[in-house]
Structure 1
Amino acid sequence: MIRIPNYLNVFRLTYKRTTQTIIFKNQNFTTTTKSNPIQWKLTNSTSPPRYDTGCTFCQPNLPSDKPINFKQPLSKSSVIPDKHILSLTTTPSNDISNFNSKIEEIPGTLAHRIHGLKSEKQIGLKFGITLSSIVLENHQNILEKYGVKESNDQLVFIYPDMKIVKFPTKDIDQFLKKYDLIEDQSKQEVYNPFKTVKDLTIQHKTNPIDDIKIKDSNFKEFPIEKDLIVTCGHAKRDIRCGQLGPLITNEFNKVLKEKNLKDNTYLGQISHIGGHAFAGNVLYYPKETQSTNDFIWYGRVFPQDVQSLVDDTVIDKKIIKNLYRGDLEKIEKLACK
């Protein structure tokens, strides 16, 4: 049972398909609308495409030393994160094919700033949290819609929290603390025989997280109200993703338009997520996402799979078993309930 503090005035409105809770506090209010959980179903494999968009049957031209791994089962080939932070990078070139092999080496990106905090303040991301950069279609228009100005601001999507957050780049430490993303590395001591009792006492009294003061007015939150489909296209990390990413994204673009789903979908490419050998790597996060069970990670996707992926997974909410990179046994148990 969830207990609501007495100082909050709570109005609960129940509808046939949704429950809405509106909480008023200090004359500010937030609204959270939660839909029913997705009832995922399963299907064994993709169906053949029904039409050719022009490049439905296009194939990558990969070097001989970079083949796709068709032998290893995809189930559990990736550790799906507990929380996924997707940063809409504000670098001068929002072209993922030009990204450095490691996104933390790209000045201006959220990954670069957080990497710097590790040495400056001994803080980093908690275990189980993944940070990626994404570049979406109409990317600049999206940044402008939320008032992002060059590198002065950051815009991130947080899953499964289903929040879009805009905040000043200079306040990244506040962002990490506010959304409970910090792993306190100051507590991970390395044995040092030369430290005195006084040194150890000072160390334990000083916690860099305590020094971070959050100013809530620096953060603007918006709900995520569209599906997200991103494909790894990180060419400088691995050529397999670099070649398949654009082909798959282009095919999604055409198929989503055919299905009149384009306006309801964020479509684009994502930085390295692991498993180059299983390219193309596609992530689908529905707008109804409530937990990591709704994080759909697919591997070995080719353009000819996209029509079936849209029909089966996006529309009918069926997980395609032979493409799924998460824990298939877990998903099968949930689907049987």
Structure 2
Amino acid sequence: MTEPFRAIRVSKTDSGQKAELVQIGLDDLMEGDVTVAVEYSTVNYKDGLALTGKAPVIRTWPLIPGIDFAGRVETSTHEGFKPGDRVVLNGWGVGETHHGGYAEKARVKGDWLVKLPDSISTAHAMAIGTAGYTAMLCVMALEFHGVTPDKGDVLVTGAAGGVGSVAIALLAKLGYRVIASTGRASEADYLKGLGAADIIDRNELSGPARPLGKERWAGAVDAVGSHTLANVLSMTRYGGTVAACGLAQGMDLPGSVAPFILRGVTLAGIDSVMAPKAKRVEAWSRLAKDLDLAALDRMTSRATLGNVPALGEEIIAGRVRGRVVVDVKA
């Protein structure tokens, strides 16, 4: 008989749902060919939606949330992994339809896992998490579409959040001049410390957009959507690219085709959940090379498994800065 272990489980209730710390066993986990001793997880905006029920992220009940985890393989029948391998998981429906990272153990398909580069610890992997991995995919998309540092400024919206914070650090290290958009004026020093050259108030971008605005940036990383994305597109320079990866303001896009047909702007959609394995491996390899771990540490706070339900509320309310590493053993 295996020893029980701790997990955060979300269950339906008469009034909605509840997230609680419980004891479970290996038999409570779902199918998979790799079992991982989870060392760290994190709290992304999507996790906040799942924990609070603010959006229908969870589609299997009851469920262990957590769309990310990092740890070491305990057992494996998958040809690509052996006990002791350090691995990371991002997405693939984990924390939505399959038990996720808010537990001391996880059982998943090996095809969903990526071996961690030697230079990235399991703790740093979760300081990066889906937010940072998504930021890297955004930067890769800008590069693919020809947005180089000499083309002009790059805007990052939702700058004090997880995606925004890592995107700023990555872009700054790669030589881009970064403009950070935030609704939290008090975070200006934090954002400049990550490498932002200028700070603008998100209110400049949050209202209804004109079909075309003044050309202000060569590219952008947008985690906000809705009116903000429409404004960002309208102010993107000729031939520029906007990488869109989030919906903090909304899922709608109340804009115009003008930026696309008059300025040749590209809107690059970024999906981190179902991204193919080769792209994931490339992103993690780039993170190992291009992310300043000291900058990562400056944007990271620590939490325990028991803190997770409250953090879900905090991140939805916009009160979480940067990244949070959850030590599931603490």
TM-score range normalised by the length of the shorter chain: under 0.3
Q: TM-score, normalized by length of structure 2?
A: 0.24
- Given the two structures, how large is their TM-score scaled by the length of structure 1? 0.24
